[in-house]
Amino acid sequence: MNHQDWEVVTIGVSKAKNVPTAHVKTTPEAQAARKIADADAPLKLKTLVPESRQEIIQRRVANKWSQADLNMRCCFPVNTIREIESGRVTPSIQQLNTLNRILKCGLKLSN
């Protein structure tokens, strides 16, 4: 007796082809208003305040820790502290909270 089923089963592929998609039409006035609204509010990312970057360096040196030591103490990936201190990377909120706890300071992001 053969109890194996060798039939090919395909999951997640739609068999319907040439299905029309819904298109949303907007008026030219609505498009112009949207462009103006988007232009007025440029996206500004938060960054680490330069004084906070210097404070990280000062406290790390005061504790006689290398960047690798601080990475290890904070459980950050390799070179994270180097990137944060140089200003190339902005720490996430979780990383900022961890640095504040480990270094016993009040680092903050700019608005």
29 assigned to some structural domain: no
pLDDT, tens digit, for every residue of 44-85? 677 888 899 999 999 999 999 999 999 999 999 999 999 999
Can you tell me which residue has the tokens 């601080």?
Answer: 70
4 assigned to some structural domain: no
110 assigned to some structural domain: no
35 assigned to some structural domain: no
Total count of residues recorded for the chain = 111
Domain count, the chain: 1
Band of the pLDDT at 102, cuts 50, 70, 90?
very high
Torsion angles phi and psi, residue 48, rounded to 5: -80, 130
Name beta bridge partners: 48.
Answer: 109
Q: Supply the range of the domain harboring residue 77.
A: 50-103
Q: Could you tell me which of 105, 100, 78, 75 has the C-alpha nearest to residue 89?
A: 78
State pTM to two decimals: 0.59
77 assigned to some structural domain: yes
Is residue 104 pLDDT above 70, yes or no? Answer: yes
Q: Could you tell me which of 102, 49, 45, 54 has the C-alpha nearest to residue 76?
A: 102
Q: Could you tell me which of 107, 62, 111 has the C-alpha nearest to residue 85?
A: 107
More confident residue, 96 or 6: 96
28 assigned to some structural domain: no
User: Which one-letter DSSP state was computed for residue 89?
Assistant: S
16 assigned to some structural domain: no
Is residue 13 pLDDT above 60, yes or no? Answer: no
In the structure encoding, which two tokens stand for residue 69, read together?
């030591």
80 assigned to some structural domain: yes
Neighbours of 22 (CB within 10 A): 4
